[in-house]
Amino acid sequence: MSEAEQAPASVPEVLDALNATDSNGTEVLNATAKFVATPEGTALAYGSLVFMALVPIFFGALRSVTCSKSKNAADMPETITSRDAARFPIIASCTLFGLYLFFKVFSQEYINLLLSVYFFVLGVLALSHTMSPLMSRVFPASFPNKQYQLLFTQGTGESKEEIVNYEFDTKNLVCLLISSVVGVWYLLKKHWIANNLFGLAFALNGVELLHLNNVSTGCILLGGLFVYDVFWVFGTNVMVTVAKSFEAPIKLVFPQDLLEKGLEASNFAMLGLGDIVIPGIFIALLLRFDVSLKKNSRTYFYSSFLAYIFGLGLTIFVMHTFKHAQPALLYLVPACVGFPVIVALFKGELTEMFRYEETSPEEAETKEDSSEKKDQ
């Protein structure tokens, strides 16, 4: 988090971007000499950021349960394996350092222009996907909803292979149109509300569509990024340099001078999307574990959710107490992993929690087909 408006670090790939910004809300703490936030403004800004962080985690976790059972190609999750988790901090570090060198050599203006266009496209698609379930409830039953299919194939006859097969309807097109308006608003004005709409969409989609296959993989990912976060924030100035140079809607911001200047406020506190998505996908995994227990209880989900609130609050407290940049995962990782483990130990379900294994929809379908053949 920051008391001055700074653009957080990121990378040009969505998953890397989300991860590479896991401390961006906390690594810049240079308050401007021209503005000193009032206690009310500071409380409003950080309270709003915490609330905005909780929304995509809560609803993204709920949607991940439905997503894990979906057979629609557009809604199928991307499963993160233990190998992916182990390599991810290394890839993110290389990408972050590459961006650092890039900004040192090339013009910051042109790089940010290219990245703005790139994230405009991604943001429109993410916001459209986020709005679709809501729009389905808003539209009346009499709305003429036509079905469409976008199909690209390669080859002919028996060698024909599907490259793209995407099904959508009129409601999806309306969502895409609304999202495009928000995207144009962001490109032209870089307004903080437009930025937050895209940021919330990225975060919710990340929590919904990025699935850890088991708790051990989650621990590997969070542990690796814990070290990554601490090193790049405390050990070097790379992340701070990139943060000052990078402009993209991969953070949530809220003005500390909103009470004085209204919607035209310009002194922001911010939170990087990685601080939301990385713990969020672990919390979503625990919700799916709760569902698998079939006990009509959400003990592990709520314990990890409360742990996230505690960890984020502790980050803010330490940052303001010591007036120094703080890597958020330094506090979020122990909290989000430790609380559920303690609960599992208390309930005698620790072994069961670590044995829980998820399969992708394709693997589940293959297993079903195999079992059906055996029965026959």
What residues does 212 pair with on adjacent strands? 80
Structure tokens at 53: 């962080």
Question: Is the separation of the CB atoms in 4 and 49 below 8 Å?
Answer: no
Catalytic residue among 16, 229, 257, 290: 229
Catalytic residue list contains 275: yes
Catalytic residue list contains 257: no
Structure tokens at 230: 């601490």
Phi, psi (degrees; rounded to nearest 5) at 320: -80, -25
Question: Is the separation of the CB atoms in 195 and 182 below 8 Å?
Answer: no
Give which of 285, 223, 202 is closest to 18, Cα–Cα: 202
Helix (H) or strand (E) holding 255: strand 251-255
Catalytic residue among 16, 22, 257, 275: 275
Question: Is the separation of the CB atoms in 317 and 337 below 8 Å?
Answer: no
Round to whole Å and give the CA distance between 185 and 190: 7
Round to whole Å and give the CA distance between 344 and 307: 14
Query: Judging by DSSP bridges, how do beta strands 147-154 and 161-169 pair with one another?
Result: antiparallel
Give the Cβ contact number of residue 205 at 10 Å: 23
Catalytically active residues are: 229, 275
